[in-house]
Amino acid sequence: MRTIELLTSAEMAEVDRRAIAAGPFDGIGLMRNAGQAVASLVLARWPGAPRVHVLAGPGNNGGDGYVVARLLHESGVAVSLWASGKPRTGSDAALAAAECPLPVHDLAAFDAEPGDLVVDALYGAGLSKPLVGADARAVDKVAALGLAVVAVDLPSGVSGDSGRVLGRAFKANLTVTFARRKPGHLLLPGRELCGEVVVADIGIADAVVASIGAGTFANEPELWRAALPVPAIDTHKYRRGHVGVFSGGPASTGAARLSALAAARAGAGAVTVLSPGSAMQVNAAHLTAIMLRRTDDASDLDAFLADRRPSAFVLGPGFGVSEKLRDFALVVMASGEGEGPSGVEGLVLDADGITAFRDDSAPLFQAAGAANAPALVLTPHEGEFARLFADLAGDETLSKLDKARKAASRAHGVIVYKGPDTVIAAPDGRAAINANGAPWLATAGSGDVLGGIVAGLLAQGMPAFEAACAAVWMHAEAGARFGPGLIAEDLPQALAPVLRELLGDHAR
Ligand SMILES: NC(=O)C1=CN([C@@H]2O[C@H](COP(=O)(O)OP(=O)(O)OC[C@H]3O[C@@H](n4cnc5c(N)ncnc54)[C@H](O)[C@@H]3O)[C@@H](O)[C@H]2O)[C@@H](O)CC1
Ligand SMILES: Nc1ncnc2c1ncn2[C@@H]1O[C@H](COP(=O)(O)OP(=O)(O)O)[C@@H](O)[C@H]1O
Ligand SMILES: [K+]
């Protein structure tokens, strides 16, 4: 079971409540199902473990642990049960503990042998403070002995909402969560600490999950595949969208060409590099399918908008932080459908395009909020994000997901907050977390390619949030599949097989 909604701890608690109200399972029924799912996976994956140590906390996560301990014991496994705190009288966890015939040892005395397996059921969605005392010592001991860990719901110490570690956390080989994944399973460092994540069906109906209206998703093709542009049989190149990419001066033109190639590979029918006169020669020497047009100032840009009806732009890569950049961005943002002559769908601002607005972002954000404005997509890495949204970046109480959402709402644009756990957020509150990348993508120019893919999809009429999500996934997939030796020049070409698979029958 693997569906794409991600539930915060508050949303998951509400899902539990609604599921219990809807039946057929009550709280202890769901807990028995959860424990059964974990026990089955332990038996299937670690059939030879000499001993399984179940660590049970005071809440419902511990309740799941008592169920696991009982079921493994009934299956003939040697089980030691260690408790941190006691379940509250009358709780589901207290019922589960009462059903478990095994002796309960104090976690403070926890000990194990190399080769044993640990089931971590200390804290899950209810984690509210750092692990200390016997809990923290157990984490250290398990790490020192190198024991394999199966985490129930989340590795204890990892926040399900932010992926952050509170004090200390287990590093699991396998994490079994229930109904849906949580943001902390995808955000770093949580994702690293979870190991493999299995989502177990514990009898909560999809309709109950849907009733919550969750706005956070794993960035997987299911989220946007239906919105991917497919060329009609009678199309022509300009109907497939025309992307304009602004080039920097003679010594910094490569970034724009990377974006341009990527936009073309993403399916834009035509791509034009808009170059200052001083860089025409060097650009001309390197472009073949991509067109070239001299663009020195806003009036040149106006003429391009009027003559060539471009549908999306990339501005920033290699451009230089300048007043000219700000002018170009604001001209493009004023050329949306109904206002300007051309009906521009979107502007992707990356790199210098973000930095240029660090001290005065209001005109940009205001333009993006105007009726009929082109969609604004900002693609900051961590450093660029901090330049444009210093207050959000420095707020320790916010997760990466929260920061991207707040930034999107402020900018009236889609934020692609890049990194190994890229978060894509829309001004309407939707957000997605990406997890299919690989460190090979951390190479100069990789971000320029991403900006070009976003623009290529925007130009074909794909809505901005979906275009950004699809671009991030395709970029990550292409890079991860290429693997060692990847340089940014390889990425546009590596997109082709990824697109072919995504389009399925439409690729013929
Ligand atoms: N009926 C249900 O609602 C279901 C709940 N499930 C399990 O229930 C879990 C959530 O249960 P709870 O809400 O009881 O929360 P937890 O069991 O995660 O935490 C229990 C309590 O421990 C205390 N605590 C938190 N962090 C601590 C720390 N670092 N040191 C000491 N004490 C700490 C808090 O007071 C918290 O309320 C899920 O993760 C899942 O495993 C599953 O059994 C499925 C059904
Ligand atoms: N460790 C990583 N794992 C997966 N993706 C990564 C990692 N590091 C960087 N990336 C991705 O690589 C791209 C780098 O973009 P950026 O930082 O703008 O680089 P550049 O400016 O050199 O093009 C982003 O899409 C980012 O999400
Ligand atoms: K846990």
Q: Token pair 């206002």 is at which residue?
A: 339
- Give yes or no for residue 137 having a pLDDT over 80: yes
Secondary structure (3-state) at 487: coil
Give the model's pLDDT for residue 231.
Answer: 81
**Ligand 1 site-directed mutation target among 26, 31, 123, most atoms within 8 Å of CB:** 123
Is 120 marked within a binding site?
yes
Is 90 marked within a binding site?
no
- Of all protein residues, the one whose alpha carbon is nearest to atom 39 of ligand 1 is 124
- Of all protein residues, the one whose alpha carbon is nearest to atom 15 of ligand 2 is 447
Residue 420 Cβ contacting ligand 2 at under 6 Å: yes
Q: How does 318-343 read in b/e, with b if 16+ C-beta sit within 10 Å?
A: bbbbeebbbebbbbbbbbbeebbebb
Residue 351 Cβ contacting ligand 2 at under 6 Å: yes
- Å from CA of 181 to ligand 3 middle: 14
Asked, colleague to colleague, whether 9-214 and 234-507 share their fold, the answer is no
- Å from CA of 152 to ligand 3 middle: 4
- Give yes or no for residue 442 having a pLDDT over 80: yes
Backbone angles phi, psi at 164, to 5 degrees: -80, 160
| Across 256-276, average pLDDT | 97
- Of all protein residues, the one whose alpha carbon is nearest to atom 14 of ligand 2 is 447
Is 248 marked within a binding site?
no
Q: Which residues contact 412 (CB under 8 A, 6 or more apart)?
A: 365, 368, 369, 373, 376, 427
Residue 153 Cβ contacting ligand 1 at under 6 Å: yes
Task: Indicate the residue type of 124.
Answer: G
Give the model's pLDDT for residue 264.
Answer: 97
For ligand 1, what atom is nearest to the CA of residue 35?
Answer: 43
Query: How far, rounded to the nearest angstrom, does the alpha carbon of residue 61 sit from its chain's CA centroid?
Result: 26
- Å from CA of 181 to ligand 1 middle: 16
Residue 60 Cβ contacting ligand 1 at under 6 Å: yes
- Give yes or no for residue 262 having a pLDDT over 60: yes
- Give yes or no for residue 340 having a pLDDT over 50: no
For ligand 1, what atom is nearest to the CA of residue 152?
Answer: 41
CATH code assigned to 234-507: 3.40.1190.20
Which of 205, 213, 175 shows the shortest CA–CA distance to 193?
A: 175
Is 91 marked within a binding site?
no
**Ligand 1 site-directed mutation target among 99, 128, 132, most atoms within 8 Å of CB:** 128
C-alpha 224/C-alpha 468 separation (Å) is: 10
- Of all protein residues, the one whose alpha carbon is nearest to atom 18 of ligand 2 is 447
pLDDT digits (tens, 9 = 90+) for 9-34: 999 999 999 999 999 999 999 999 99
| pTM more than 0.90 | yes
Which of 114, 34, 108, 116 shows the shortest CA–CA distance to 80?
A: 116
The superfamily (CATH) of domain 9-214 is YjeF N-terminal domain (3.40.50.10260)
Is 130 marked within a binding site?
yes
| Across 89-112, average pLDDT | 98
Averaged pLDDT of the chain: 96
List alpha helices for 280-361, DSSP H: 280-284, 298-308, 323-333, 352-355
In the chain, where the domains are located: 9-214, 234-507
- Å from CA of 336 to ligand 3 middle: 50
Is 395 marked within a binding site?
no
- Give yes or no for residue 470 having a pLDDT over 50: yes
β-partners of residue 55 are 82, 120
The pair of structure tokens assigned to 435 is: 């997890």
Give the model's pLDDT for residue 343.
Answer: 84
Confidence of residue 439 (pLDDT cuts 50, 70, 90): very high
- Give yes or no for residue 329 having a pLDDT over 90: yes
Q: What is the ipTM of this complex?
A: 0.95
Residue 64 Cβ contacting ligand 1 at under 6 Å: yes
Give the model's pLDDT for residue 8.
Answer: 97
C-alpha 173/C-alpha 41 separation (Å) is: 12
Number of the ligand closest to the Cα of 382: 2
Cα–Cα distances (Å) from 359 to 227, 314, 352, in that order, read 36, 21, 13
Residue 439 Cβ contacting ligand 2 at under 6 Å: yes
- Of all protein residues, the one whose alpha carbon is nearest to atom 20 of ligand 1 is 59
Confidence of residue 507 (pLDDT cuts 50, 70, 90): confident
CA atoms within 13 A on the CB side of 122: 31
- Å from CA of 153 to ligand 1 middle: 10
Residue 417 Cβ contacting ligand 1 at under 6 Å: no
Residue 451 Cβ contacting ligand 2 at under 6 Å: no
Residue 58 Cβ contacting ligand 1 at under 6 Å: yes
- Give yes or no for residue 342 having a pLDDT over 60: no
- Give yes or no for residue 341 having a pLDDT over 50: no
| Across 464-476, average pLDDT | 98
pLDDT digits (tens, 9 = 90+) for 47-83: 999 999 999 999 999 999 999 999 999 999 999 999 9
Q: At what angle do helices 323-333 and 362-369 cross, to 10 degrees?
A: 10
- Å from CA of 453 to ligand 1 middle: 42
Residue 486 Cβ contacting ligand 2 at under 6 Å: no
Which of 455, 372, 359, 472 shows the shortest CA–CA distance to 412?
A: 372
